Amino acid sequence: MRPAWRWLPLAGVAFCALMMAVALGLEHVGGLEPCPLCVFQRVGVIATGVVLAVAAGHNPDGRLGRGVYAVLALAGVAGGAFVAGRHVWLQSLPADQVPSCGPGLDYMIDVLPLQEVIATVLSGSGECAAVDAAFLGLSLPAWTLVGFIALAAFPLAMLWRAVRSCPVE
């Protein structure tokens, strides 16, 4: 008897919860304020977690449903990994190439249209280039990128199982 498909998205939800617990612990216990790119990475984790939670709750039987949930979760992971990779790249720039600090995320959301907020945040700012903490030689955005790579295993396994083990609809 094959194990239930539902455990894959549930394990992914647990991993998302772990990633958010670490982020919130660093913020509220460690005193590290998240920069705008950090906030966008959190959105990627939360979006992926929501898709995985819905997938586990729905627990579709066929390839199509399982495949759609896997692809949506992979989109969340890819978006978060892109932002984390951009953050790591920004932190690796020489000091003379780091963009100047811009306005805070709250201010930009209040004043600018959403598309412009996203473009501004992804272009980076000086506050995002600062390495506030590191663990085992990797900055926090680098660890978040590692987390997204690990998180991708869950929707990839979901997709693999959807393609390989479900009857054709």
Q: What is the Cα–Cα distance from 164 to 81, expressed in whole angstroms? A: 26
Spell out where the chain has E strands: 134-135, 138-139
CA–CA gap between residue 138 and residue 92 (Å, rounded): 11
What local confidence, expressed as pLDDT, does residue 72 receive?
Answer: 97
Q: What is the pLDDT of residues 142-168, one digit of tens each?
A: 999 999 999 999 999 999 988 886 555
pLDDT tens track for 14-23? 999 999 999 9
pTM of the complete model: 0.81
pLDDT band at 96 (very low <50, low <70, confident <90, very high): confident
Q: Tell me the residue type at 116.
A: E
Which candidate, 112, 116, 113, 120, places its Cα nearest to that of 37?
Answer: 120
